[in-house]
Structures are given as structure tokens and as C-alpha cells.
A and B are shown apart, each in its own frame.
Chain A
Amino acid sequence: MTDTPPDQPCQLAPFARSRQIDDWPPSPQRNSGALATSNRGWRIRWPVLDLATCSRCGLCFLYCPDAAILLSQEGYPTVADDWCKGCGLCAAECPKDSIRMGEDGEDTQP
């Protein structure tokens, strides 16, 4: 009931603090899923995917603590730039070794 919700929950949306105190939330609250800051700066490495060997098992999607692996309609993973922290769980759990942890900024699907 407070500020305008983002178009989609859990999607990064611009946020500017109001200079008018009456425009602040009426209690310490905000719309759930309203996201203002990316976690992009947390990582020094991130997943590089080899889709040719990917078996589309979805374990990378399952085990990502940050919901930073998205699956396409066909079941292939992509990396959510804003949320990947570079922990490497996806790579460690991939049964086909289709994921390696490369440098942050490297093409995730070479």
C-alpha cells in the first residue's frame, strides 16, 4: 500500500528517496520484492556456460542461492547479471561440467 510496485516483483527498478517526508513509507515497510540495488559488484568471477554439453538437468537453476540462473523455455541456463555473486555452486554441481567459473564480464555463453 506504499510506493508504486515494480512492474514485476523481484526485478530491479529505479528508486529515489523522496525529499518530502510525507512521501516516505508510513511505517518501516515496503512492497515485497521491490529491488533497488544490484549485487553485480559482489563477484570477481562468474559462470561461463557450455551449452553444447548442457543436459538441461536444471541443477544449476535449483542450487543457485541467489536465483541468478534463469532457464530458457528449452531448459538452457542463462546468468542474471544483477544477482550472480559468483559463488560457483552452479559450476560445482553441474553433472556435465558444462559450467566453469570465468572472469567476471567474460561472455557467459561463448
Chain B
Amino acid sequence: MITIKNLPEPEYFVGHKACGGCGGSLVVRWTLKVLGERCIAVIPAGCMSAVGFIYPQMALGVNAMIAPFAATGAVLSGVARGLKARGIEDVTVVGFAGDGATADIGLQALSGAFDRRERMLYICYDNEAYMNTGIQKSGATPFGARTTTSPGGYRPETDAPKKDLIRIAAAHGIPYAATASVGYANDFLKKVQKAAQVEGPSFLHVFAPCPTGWGCDADSTVRLGKSVVDTGLWPLVEWENGAVRLNRNPARFAPLETYTGEQARFRRLTAADLADLEATRDRQWRALRAWVRESAGM
């Protein structure tokens, strides 16, 4: 088992042009260290493709290609089927897509690939807005967050939380889906290894802070990756062949301000907003715990 203590030495994501402290680039770097050289990465239009393949600077050390924005799931499928047709079985096919490319424009292709049980690992690095185009609101932007298209802070019509990708993935009945965060590296590394080993599609939804888009310090990425979990805003969940497990199930959460307070995008949140956010979080956790019980047949 690869952990933070024995992370493989070879680097496969170097020289990219991501902003300092980029969470998404940590996700790519760590994943490729785990998967090693025999893998093919598919990355749609978005931050990681924009920063990784600018001729003549090829930051990925493995086979890789940029996919059309909406087509990550489809291109992954094509690569997987091509390898299968050639009888190549020991190559991991991995996708790295942002939240917009996953929850919005690429959801249809992802659903198709899940439904066909393609042998692929799909990783959504979620920085909660369209960062590459300049921080516009996406289907994964949380309540209250300022983006350039929700300048006063995103106020959904209802109190619905952001798109629940883990449930969407699980609803397809795929063998493995999990959430993770760059703040909990061992948990992430373990999940990448599990996800890479299952037959059929696997899905990781990874919290990946964006200092540029969130208005926080470039050195806060890992800290926020921890506090978002500790405040209960980003549950660490694993779905494995129909069973749901909470990797962390705290009796008490850290105060929300320990997470929101560091980020300019949440500056306009009022005390009432924070109370709403807390209520929504608690409701989500009740639903999550019910889901765990239900999946265990209780």
C-alpha cells in the first residue's frame, strides 16, 4: 500500500503552469505517482489541460491527451476499448476533469461511460467554479461563494446543496466511488489505489482548493483541504459495491468559520448565512448516515 511515507519517487507532473498552491495539480501529481508510467491520462479542456500541454512544454510524463470539454467519459471509453481491442490489459486509463467538466458539461458522457462499465478511473478535481475561464459559477459552486458570475455570493433559489456527484456516481451502480480531499493525503492515496484496481469504472470526487479563485493564501491549500472535512462540509465517503462507508464520522464538527474565514469568496456570508449553511450541512449528514444504514440493510 502506498502512503505518504513511501510515495514513489518518479514524478509525472512537472513544469506545469498552474497557479502557485494549486490543489488540482496536487491531485494529478499524487495520482500519477500511484499509477506509475503504464497509464494513459485523459484531461478535458480546463485548468489541468491548459497548464499541462502548452507546446513545447509537456508537463505530464505519461501518455496523455486533451479531450473536448464535454467528452472526458467518451474519450476515456475510446482509449479503454482501443486498449482492450489490442489486448493490452496492464495500462490504467485515468481521467482528470474539473467540476464544470464533470458536474455540468461532461455529465452526459460520464453517465454513458459509467453505464457501459468502462474500465476507467475518473477523477474530478473540484475547485467549485470554472477557474480556467476566470472563476465563473459551476454546478459545484457552494452556497454563498462569490464567483465572477455570482458577484454577490451564490444564492440558489432553494437551499439545495451543490450537485451530489458521489450519489450520482453511486446511482449508476459502479463498483467504486469515493470522495477525498487534498487535506487528507493518505486517505486519497488509498482510494486511488482501490479505484485503480477495480474492474469497471471508478470515480473519485476530490476537494481541490484554488487559491486564485477563492481568494485565499497560496499556502492554504492543504489547510483548507483539512478544515473543509473537519467542518463537515466535505464528507469523506466510500461507495464500494453497494455499501457506503463514512471514512470520518465525527460526533462534532469544527466551527464553519475555521474554513470559510480564510477565503475572500465567503466574505459576504452573514451570521444568518452561516447558520443556514450549518443547517444544510447537518441535514446532509443525516441523509448521509441514513444512506449508510440503508446500504448496510439496517
Residues of A that sit less than 8 Å from B by CB: 9-10, 12, 15, 17, 25, 28, 30-39, 42-43, 58-59, 61-63, 65-67, 82-83, 85-89, 91-93
Partner of B221, one of A25, A43, A65: A65
Partner of A89, one of B12, B58, B185, B222: B222
Main secondary structure of the interface of A (DSSP, over half): loop
Do A62 and B4 have beta carbons less than 8 Å apart?
Answer: yes
Closest B residue, CB atoms, query A37: B57
Whole-angstrom distance between the Cβ of A89 and the nearest chain B Cβ: 5
Residues of B that sit less than 8 Å from A by CB: 4-5, 7, 11-23, 25-26, 29, 55-64, 185, 211, 217-223
Do A30 and B21 have beta carbons less than 8 Å apart?
Answer: no
**Which residue, of B14, B17, B211, has the highest number of chain A Cβ atoms within 10 A?**
B14
A35 / chain B contacts, CB cutoff of 8 Å: 14-15, 57-59
Do A89 and B218 have beta carbons less than 8 Å apart?
Answer: yes
Closest A residue, CB atoms, query B223: A92
Do B25 and A15 have beta carbons less than 8 Å apart?
Answer: no
Do B4 and A92 have beta carbons less than 8 Å apart?
Answer: no
Do B55 and A32 have beta carbons less than 8 Å apart?
Answer: no
Partner of B58, one of A33, A62, A67, A92: A33
Whole-angstrom distance between the Cβ of A76 and the nearest chain B Cβ: 15
Closest A residue, CB atoms, query B9: A71
Known contacts A63-B26, A66-B14; A32/B64 CB under 8 A:
yes
A31 / chain B contacts, CB cutoff of 8 Å: 58
Do B221 and A32 have beta carbons less than 8 Å apart?
Answer: no
Do B14 and A10 have beta carbons less than 8 Å apart?
Answer: yes
Closest A residue, CB atoms, query B220: A92
Partner of B222, one of A15, A85, A86, A93: A93
Known contacts A32-B63, A87-B219; A65/B18 CB under 8 A:
yes
Do A67 and B13 have beta carbons less than 8 Å apart?
Answer: yes
Do B60 and A32 have beta carbons less than 8 Å apart?
Answer: yes
Q: How far is the CA of A92 from the CA of B58 in the complex (A)?
A: 29
Whole-angstrom distance between the Cβ of B190 and the nearest chain A Cβ: 14
Do B221 and A89 have beta carbons less than 8 Å apart?
Answer: yes
Whole-angstrom distance between the Cβ of B28 and the nearest chain A Cβ: 9
Do A15 and B14 have beta carbons less than 8 Å apart?
Answer: no
Whole-angstrom distance between the Cβ of A43 and the nearest chain B Cβ: 8
B15 / chain A contacts, CB cutoff of 8 Å: 10, 12, 35, 37-39, 82-83
A59 / chain B contacts, CB cutoff of 8 Å: 4
